[in-house]
Amino acid sequence: MKNLAPILAVGMMLAISTKLSAANVGMIDIDGAISPATEGYISRAIDVANEQNDACLIIELDTPGGLLNSTEKIINKIYDSKIPIVVYVTPAPGHAASAGTFITMAADVAAMAPHTRIGAAHPVSIGATGSVQPVDDVEKKKMENDTVSLAESIADKRHRNVQWAKSCVLDSVSITAETALATNVIDLIADDVPSLLKQLDGREVHGTTLHTAGATVVPIRMTFRESFLQMFLQPEVMFILMLVVIYGIIGELSSPGAILPGVAGAIALVLVLCLSTILPINAAGLLLIALAIVLFIIDLYSPTHGVLTGGGIIAFFLGSLMLFNRSNPAFHLPLTYIIGGTVLTALFFLFIVGAAVRAQLLPVRAGRETLLGKVTPAAEHIDAKGGRVFVEGEWWNAVSETPVESGQPVEIVGIEGLKLKVKAKTA
């Protein structure tokens, strides 16, 4: 038994050593534009991975870019992380473009799958809150210089290719994973996650040696709120909500008392205003859409033979086309939505709203007012004291300033309470 004690001790030490080395690795998947929803998800995932004391956090990334404000917050969060952050651009032919370039370069370890791409980080006209601002040449140069400084500072901090970081902003340079590795833009190329973990094993990051061989990958999934915001913060969603605003409010105005269209339009309007502070909106596009609505409404009440409606359709199409900055691939409205929305809006105003307004302008066809002007024979003698007539299937009391004999045609000229005023109808 004494001889077995050293063997058992060694076995326990090996087991403990194996258990310690087989750590957990957190992982999240970012597929789409970088937005405030993305920033919130990445920030929470970094906090969770730090609390769990994971060996590292792997961010699988495939993005066309996004908002610079959100990107800078993500970079700061990566810098503040106590555990290593690994950005892995995957799958092929995915890419880390624009904002994704900065996030990849800011990682402790930058990795890419074969045949993926990185670069094209030229700044677009996006303000701090996401609204598109018209810029002159001086302002454009300031934005370029600021973005270049950001790229250079990231590359310098992570000891990567500063000159390339500068050119990817100024010249929109984009390169493959293979070129990125050869030019010191990234640290490694991995075919898949197991290969990535194998290459990370033994790598020293800020004085800490990674032990990822055989590590368990634990996904950190989006919460319901994060998933909803990720889906909600899209140009397509905002465009649809704008159509709901238009149809709801105009529908309520054309059919007062319907209530539901007005309520739906008001709710959609609040959501549109919220999205307009986040997404890159062009004020000129909004003004053109507003002009289109005004032209539609005027044409409903004015006999312009559709001229204003035609102008409204053109204004709506151009406004939708300009609504989002199409130079930013992360936030642009597909042409199918623009054409479909234009056709649908034109039909809505031509047929639905037009029919409702025309119905309001028609003369009254029911009720007591319809009796005025009708001619009917007197049912009995009628004078100033009274008499009766039978009209529209009902008996009415009637008075006449000049006596009328029974059977003589009379015309209804007025209504006082439940009594008709009539006069003799002459040929």
Contacts of 128 (CB under 8 A, 6+ apart): 69
Q: From CA 185, how far away is CA 194, in angstroms rounded?
A: 22
Is 84 within the bounds of a domain?
A: yes
Instruction: Average the pLDDT over each of 57-71, 174-188, 304-318 and give the range with the smallest value.
Output: 304-318
Quote the domain boundaries for residue 61: 20-228
DSSP 17: H
Q: What is the pLDDT of residue 259?
A: 77
DSSP 319: H
Q: Are residues 224 and 302 in the same domain?
A: no
Q: Are residues 146 and 224 in the same domain?
A: yes
Summarised one tens digit per residue, pLDDT across range 80-109 is 999 999 999 999 899 999 899 999 999 999
Q: From CA 296, how far away is CA 306, in angstroms rounded?
A: 9
End-to-end CA distance of the chain: 136
Of 28, 24, 26, 25, which Cα lies nearest the Cα of 223? 28
Report strand pairing: 57-62 vs 85-89. parallel
Model confidence at 126, pLDDT cuts 50, 70, 90, reads: very low
Is 10 within the bounds of a domain?
A: no
Q: Are residues 116 and 257 in the same domain?
A: no
Summarised one tens digit per residue, pLDDT across range 376-387 is 888 888 888 888
Task: Give the CATH number for residue 71.
Answer: 3.90.226.10
Q: Are residues 347 and 382 in the same domain?
A: no
Q: From CA 35, how far away is CA 315, in angstroms rounded?
A: 29
Tell me phi and psi for residue 167, to 5 degrees: -70, -30
Q: Are residues 324 and 245 in the same domain?
A: yes
Q: Are residues 144 and 32 in the same domain?
A: yes
Q: From CA 166, how far away is CA 350, in angstroms rounded?
A: 53
The H-or-E segment that residue 28 falls in is strand 24-31
DSSP 383: B
Q: What number of residues does the chain have?
A: 427
Q: Are residues 223 and 239 in the same domain?
A: no
* Domain stops at, among 168, 196, 228: 228
Is 404 within the bounds of a domain?
A: yes
Q: Are residues 186 and 307 in the same domain?
A: no
* Domain stops at, among 326, 361, 396: 361
Q: Are residues 38 and 170 in the same domain?
A: yes
Is 14 within the bounds of a domain?
A: no
270, amino acid identity: V
Model confidence at 317, pLDDT cuts 50, 70, 90, reads: very high
Instruction: Average the pLDDT over each of 150-154, 247-251, 348-352 and give the range with the smallest value.
Output: 348-352
* Domain stops at, among 200, 228, 256: 228
Q: Are residues 202 and 240 in the same domain?
A: no
Is 140 within the bounds of a domain?
A: yes
Q: From CA 157, how far away is CA 4, in angstroms rounded?
A: 53
- Tell which wins on pLDDT, 60 or 208: 60
Q: Are residues 383 and 288 in the same domain?
A: no
Q: From CA 82, how far away is CA 352, in angstroms rounded?
A: 60
Token duo for residue 108: 């402790």
Q: Identify whether the C-beta of residue 172 lies closer than 8 Å to the C-beta of residue 180.
A: no
Q: Are residues 171 and 47 in the same domain?
A: yes
Rounded to two decimals, the pTM is 0.70
Is 390 within the bounds of a domain?
A: yes
The H-or-E segment that residue 241 falls in is helix 235-254
Q: If you average pLDDT over every residue of the chain, what do you get?
A: 83
Question: How many domains does the structure of the chain reveal?
Answer: 3
Tell me phi and psi for residue 262, to 5 degrees: -65, -40
Token duo for residue 134: 């018209």
The H-or-E segment that residue 111 falls in is strand 109-112
Summarised one tens digit per residue, pLDDT across range 238-271 is 899 989 988 887 777 766 666 787 888 889 888 8
Is 244 within the bounds of a domain?
A: yes
Find the radius of gyration of the CA atoms of the chain: 36
Q: From CA 327, how far away is CA 333, in angstroms rounded?
A: 11
Of 75, 42, 70, which Cα lies nearest the Cα of 129? 70
Task: Give the CATH number for residue 418.
Answer: 2.40.50.140
Instruction: Please check the confidence at residue 195 and state whether its pLDDT lies above 70.
Output: yes
The H-or-E segment that residue 217 falls in is strand 216-219
CA distances to 152, 242, 344 from 338, rounded to whole Å, are: 38, 12, 10
Portion of the chain with pLDDT greater than 90, in percent:
37
Is 35 within the bounds of a domain?
A: yes
Please compute the mean of the pLDDT values over residues 132-155 and round it to a whole number.
78
